Structure 1
Amino acid sequence: MLKGIPLTVRRSIEIMGLFFLGWLIVLGKGILAPLLMAFFLSIMLLPIYRFFRAKRFPESLSIGTSLFVLILVLGLIIWFFSYQISNLVSDFPVIQENVTQHLKALSAWIEDISPVSTEEQTSFISEQSNRILSYAGNMLSGAALSITGIFVFLGLVPIYIFLLLFYKNLLLRFVFFWFPKENHEKVEGAMREMEVIIKSYLFGLLIQISYITVLLGGILMIIGIKHALLIGVIFAFLNLIPYVGALLGNIIGVLITLASSSELWPIVTVLGVIAAVQFLDNNILMPRIVGSKVKINALASIVGVIVAGEIAGVIGMFLSLPIIAVLKIIFDRAENFKQWGVLFGDERPSRSPMEVPALRQDSEQVDRQLERENDIEPSAKTKS
């Protein structure tokens, strides 16, 4: 469609299109966030849905049963969180005592190395506390809206999942209508690969949450760290947010340990166990579970997490990587957008395109070589 247009004009149109697309996403994030979440969850439920359809269940009953399984799993997760947090709340007097003890020790250390007296420190802490409480009070004015938004989100997602599964054949026909007949094979290949990638990624995340909770929580429990399972499950869920989540998980784990113990050795133990479990997860377990069919480079991942977080908050952070993976699959197959697929990917050349002219051009032979060098499974577009 754009073949007769000069290259510079085409690139300008692409940039403008991306700008307006981003603008529309920001304006419609309240609609798009639950729809995208429902899209990914509906793909994850496809094996359950197909199982019941193979058993000759009616379509609506198959979708309803799949939704029931999803709600049951989410209900168990929420119950587990609530139980662990109630245990933490029941220890509040001990936590208060430990925090006071740590603050006194910190105050004495500051007084030893600086001219700031204990009274001045107490006055400063009191002043800052009042500011924080005032800020929290202002934040509460918008809390009702946030809670309402959460309930609307949770109410829309199951409805969207049901409708996406019920009308999936209609939606697939709609997609094929956008492309000429000679491109239908490519479109079918892209959609099948997207389904495989999304399912392997999301099921991999479920497995990852399970083994991190068991490994981290179990090891900390054996060592004798209080609220070990809560630390494990919080870190497991935050670890789903690429790069940023692991740092937040470490901080929260340290704070829970610091508040639950009057000694400092548990903090070093928690950090050491988290580091060991994370190393095992990143280098051994997760690559084997999710596979390496699509690799997103670290720069695209971090920028994607930050941008998605700005647009849709925590939900956007969780969905950022599967969205980028889907976009990469689409870009790799679109003649006009292959450069964006290269930008998102991790097929890093060992030599500079300034020195090797072959790297400047789109070539299946070069793509295969880069996939071999970076240990990436060949995608459908490069398989012979």
Structure 2
Amino acid sequence: MSGKNHIALDLLGVVLIVFIAYLLQDFIIPLLFAIILSVLIYPIVQFFESRLCFNRIISITIAIIIFSAIIFLVFALISMQFEEIMSKSSKYYIQIKQKTIPLFAQMEHDLGVSSKDIVGNNKLEVKEIVKQNSNKIIPFLTKSGGVLSDFILSPLYMFLFLLYRNFLVSFIYKATSGFYNKAKTRQILSELYKVQQNYMLGLVSVMAIVGLLNSIGLLILGIEYPFFFGFLCSLLLLVPYIGIIIGSILPALIALATKDSYWYAVGVIGIFGFIQFIEGNFITPKITGNKVSLNAFASILSIVLFSMLWGIPGMILALPITASLKVVFDNTKNLKVIGFLLGEAKEKYFSSKAKYRLKIWNKIRLQK
């Protein structure tokens, strides 16, 4: 088979995989979440099995119950706090409108655009918006592949993955016997496990640190509900790069509504942006280290592509999936170049022309 035909078949295979991934997303997405979360709670299962000598089924059940209870508690606290904020939405709207009237008046004068064309005549009542869109929200929650169905299916898949883990590993050995020997497969599985575990544990640690820093920043500015907004924004780190930007909008609006100066809202966005910079350049690299070694370009590109494929769940799954693919690429001879492209660029690839010329000049001078 010629090289051109081989490339054409490879491209056709990629297109087919993407098409199947899109077509079966309602099945694949909860399955992938279950795999990643199974890696997260596996140490708990192992603790109950080895240290407390519990039966495997009992150990898995207890671990999933603990995990589900923590998730439920977090969402219950968010829901209660958000309900309180929603009850003040009309008050906040009036306060924001009073402070933005001068800005809109200036826009009317300079641009000839009516303020009614921008904000409309209706009151901003969050509860009314929810009621009006309930016919869209309920199907989204209950349809196949929706939030509630995923919430039910993922723990079930987690239970089965953890219960049949040895059997599934044996299957992988048999399925990859034509490509890798058993030792190589074991090495790849070990690397995949470490990548996912480091990513998830690192993400939880980063969320806690960023949430605390956000809260301190909001406390210094005197913004209402500092810990709620601080940790809510940190939870949105599940959506890399974009989440913290979205999370800063609501506290900025609250600052605009409750403070005398516009600069408080600017300060909220500035603090969150600064914390995002610290998180991306110091906190995350320090905690996760080189275990999830994706460069920024590959990370952003994967988020964009997976969001196009699966929406918000795709944005959340983008980095762990891409990191896993990099492990496979790095251990496959014909795909190592793709693994190199996804990896972190070393300092030598960022050398400036001036440094390069200086290096050449020094070599010439030494030769003379």
So what's the TM-score if we normalise by structure 2? Answer: 0.84
**1:98–1:262 Cα contact (<8 Å) kept:** no
Match of 1:341 among 339, 349, 366: 339
Matched, 1:69 2:66: yes
1:12 aligned partner = 8
2:141 aligned partner = 147
- Rounded to whole Å, the distance in 1 between the matches of 2:236 and 2:65 is 25
Moved more, 250-259 or 282-291: 250-259
- Rounded to whole Å, the distance in 1 between the matches of 2:225 and 2:35 is 35
| Residue type of the alignment partner of 1:244 | I
Shift of 1:11: 2.5
1:238 aligned partner = 236
Matched, 1:179 2:153: no
Structure 1: unaligned runs, 5 residues or longer: 353-384
Give the number of equivalent residue pairs: 341
- Rounded to whole Å, the distance in 1 between the matches of 2:153 and 2:4 is 42
- Rounded to whole Å, the distance in 2 between the matches of 1:208 and 1:59 is 31
Distance change in 2, residues 1:56/1:105 (3 Å): same
**2:223–2:254 Cα contact (<8 Å) kept:** no
| Residue type of the alignment partner of 1:121 | S
**2:93–2:123 Cα contact (<8 Å) kept:** no
Shift of 1:137: 9.3
1:25 aligned partner = 21
Matched, 1:44 2:49: no
Distance change in 2, residues 1:16/1:93 (3 Å): closer
- Rounded to whole Å, the distance in 2 between the matches of 1:216 and 1:138 is 33
Shift of 1:215: 1.5
Identity of aligned residues (%): 27
| Residue type of the alignment partner of 1:191 | L
2:359 aligned partner = none
Distance change in 2, residues 1:137/1:13 (3 Å): farther
Shift of 1:16: 1.3
Once the two structures are superposed, residues 236-292 of structure 1 have per-residue CA deviations (whole angstroms, 9 ceiling, x without a partner) of: 122332222233233344233323435312112212321332232222222121111
| Residue type of the alignment partner of 2:39 | I
2:224 aligned partner = 226
Once the two structures are superposed, the pairs formed by residues 183-262 of structure 1 within 5 Å of their partners are 183-262=181-260
Shift of 1:348: 5.1
2:115 aligned partner = 121
Moved more, 93-102 or 171-180: 93-102
Moved more, 237-246 or 144-153: 237-246
- Rounded to whole Å, the distance in 1 between the matches of 2:33 and 2:246 is 23
| Residue type of the alignment partner of 2:279 | D
Shift of 1:136: 9.2
Distance change in 2, residues 1:128/1:14 (3 Å): farther
- Rounded to whole Å, the distance in 1 between the matches of 2:289 and 2:349 is 26
Once the two structures are superposed, the pairs formed by residues 82-161 of structure 1 within 5 Å of their partners are 82-116=79-113, 120-122=114-116, 125-126=119-120, 141-148=135-142, 149-161=146-158
Moved more, 159-168 or 11-20: 11-20
Moved more, 37-46 or 227-236: 227-236
Shift of 1:127: 7.4
Moved more, 151-160 or 210-219: 210-219
Distance change in 2, residues 1:109/1:194 (3 Å): same
Structure 2: unaligned runs, 5 residues or longer: 351-368
So what's the TM-score if we normalise by structure 1? Answer: 0.81
- Rounded to whole Å, the distance in 1 between the matches of 2:241 and 2:118 is 34
Shift of 1:23: 0.4
**1:305–1:317 Cα contact (<8 Å) kept:** yes
- Rounded to whole Å, the distance in 2 between the matches of 1:192 and 1:300 is 23
Give the root-mean-square deviation of aligned CA atoms. Answer: 2.6
- Rounded to whole Å, the distance in 1 between the matches of 2:318 and 2:244 is 16
Shift of 1:331: 1.1
**2:198–2:291 Cα contact (<8 Å) kept:** no
- Rounded to whole Å, the distance in 2 between the matches of 1:21 and 1:174 is 21
| Residue type of the alignment partner of 2:96 | V
SS at match of 1:239: helix
Distance change in 2, residues 1:8/1:342 (3 Å): farther
- Rounded to whole Å, the distance in 1 between the matches of 2:194 and 2:248 is 32
Moved more, 50-59 or 232-241: 232-241
SS at match of 2:223: coil
1:328 aligned partner = 326
- Rounded to whole Å, the distance in 2 between the matches of 1:123 and 1:282 is 39
2:360 aligned partner = none
Distance change in 2, residues 1:107/1:349 (3 Å): closer
